[in-house]
Amino acid sequence: MNFQQQNVQKIILVTLLFAGVIYIYFGVLLPSLNKRAENIRQACEELRPRIADAKSHIKGVAIREEKAGMTAATFDQVNAMMPHASPIAWVPPLLKEFFDRHGIKNCSVRMIGKRIDADIPGYYSAIWNIHLPQVEAIQLGIALSELENQQPLFEITSVQMGNMGPDVEIQNATINILTIVRE
């Protein structure tokens, strides 16, 4: 009987031990684990808006990097089109030759000012005045259209035409052009 009594005691002891482990698990460990899990969920919920902001910021950075690459390429193209000499040395001859090719003679070109652009360091916008003493309106229109299409560095800011007298076809014109040049 002693053998059975020892087995019964062992079974009771194992049962009590098992009950104690279950009590400790469900009564002590599980609530603290649930509380930690709830704290982690709350922390994740608090981070969701920041994560969304970070994702949108990353997308914005990617877009800016793409634009920066395109801007750098455009900058390199503009530099390649622009002679390294002083603008007074290359702009007037270029414009005179251009108007001569279009049959417009006696062109006078002079720089009337410059405008510093803070967005483009190392460059400024030069303002040029072109006076054409005798020109036909249609001939001038065609030439100015080609000028803006062929010379991307030039921007026509104003055109003024006046009648020379009895001949309506021949007029004088004054044109203001803006171009970006190196300092």
Query: Does position 138 have pLDDT exceeding 60, yes or no?
Result: yes
Q: Domain 87-182 is in which class?
A: alpha beta
Per-residue pLDDT of 70-129, as tens digits, reads 677 767 776 777 777 777 788 899 899 999 999 888 899 999 988 887 677 778 888 999
The pLDDT confidence band at residue 131, using thresholds 50, 70 and 90, is very high
Per-residue pLDDT of 82-96, as tens digits, reads 777 777 788 899 899
Residue extents of the structural domains in the chain: 1-81, 87-182
Per-residue pLDDT of 26-65, as tens digits, reads 887 778 888 888 888 998 888 888 888 988 988 888 888 8
* DSSP line for the chain: -HHHHHHHHHHHHHHHHHHHHHHHIIIIIHHHHHHHHHHHHHHHHHHHHHHHHHHHHHHHHHHHHHHHHHHHHHHHHHHHHS-SS-HHHHHHHHHHHHHHHTT--S-EEEEEEEEE-TTSTTEEEEEEEEEEEEEEHHHHHHHHHHHHHH-TTEEEEEEEEEE-SS-SSEEEEEEEEEEEEE-
